[in-house]
Amino acid sequence: MRIDILTIFPEIFTPLDVSIIKRAKEKGIIRIKIWNLRDFSKDRHKKVDDKVYGGGKGMVLKCQPIFDAIDKIKSENKDAKVILTSPTGQLFDQQFAKKLSQEKGLILICGHYEGVDERVKKICDYEISIGDYILTGGELPAMVIVDCVVRLLKGVLPEDVPVYDSFYNYLFDWPCYTRPKNFKGMKVPEILLSGNHKAIENWRKKIAIKYTKEKRPDLYEKYIKQGGEDDIEKS
Looking at every residue in the chain, the average pLDDT score rounds to 93
* H helix and E strand count, the chain: 6, 9
Residue 132 shares a structural domain with residue 95: yes
Residue 109 shares a structural domain with residue 180: no
pLDDT range class, residue 57, cuts 50, 70, 90? confident
Q: What was the pLDDT predicted at 234?
A: 54
227 occurs within a structural domain: yes
Task: Give the C-alpha separation, 4 to 73, whole Å.
Answer: 7
pTM of the predicted protein model: 0.88
Q: Which residue among 119, 150, 181 closes a domain?
A: 150
Residue 90 shares a structural domain with residue 174: no
Q: What was the pLDDT predicted at 149?
A: 98
Rounded alpha-carbon distances, angstroms, from residue 138 to 6, 86, 128, 144, 212: 10, 7, 10, 10, 30
Condensed to tens digits (0 to 9), the pLDDT of residues 163-215 reads: 556 677 888 888 999 999 999 999 999 999 999 999 999 999 999 999 999 99
Domain count for the chain, please give it: 2
DSSP string, 8-26: S-GGGGGGGGSHHHHHHHH
Q: Which residue among 150, 177, 204 closes a domain?
A: 150
Residue 174 shares a structural domain with residue 143: no
Domain range spanning residue 138? Answer: 2-150
Condensed to tens digits (0 to 9), the pLDDT of residues 75-113 reads: 999 999 999 999 999 999 999 999 999 999 999 999 988
Q: What was the pLDDT predicted at 168?
A: 73
Residue 117 shares a structural domain with residue 225: no
pLDDT range class, residue 235, cuts 50, 70, 90? very low
CATH code of the domain in which 63 resides: 3.40.1280.10
Contact 109, 124 (CB under 8 A): yes
Task: Give the C-alpha separation, 61 to 66, whole Å.
Answer: 8
Share of the chain above pLDDT 70, in %: 94
Which sequence positions are flagged as catalytic? 87, 114, 151, 165
Above 90 in pLDDT, residue 144?
A: yes
159 occurs within a structural domain: no
CATH code of the domain in which 190 resides: 1.10.1270.20
Cα-based torsion angle of the residue sequence 206, 207, 212, 215 in order, rounded to the nearest 10 degrees: 140
Residue 145 shares a structural domain with residue 172: no
Residue 91 shares a structural domain with residue 56: yes
Cα-based torsion angle of the residue sequence 190, 195, 200, 202 in order, rounded to the nearest 10 degrees: -120
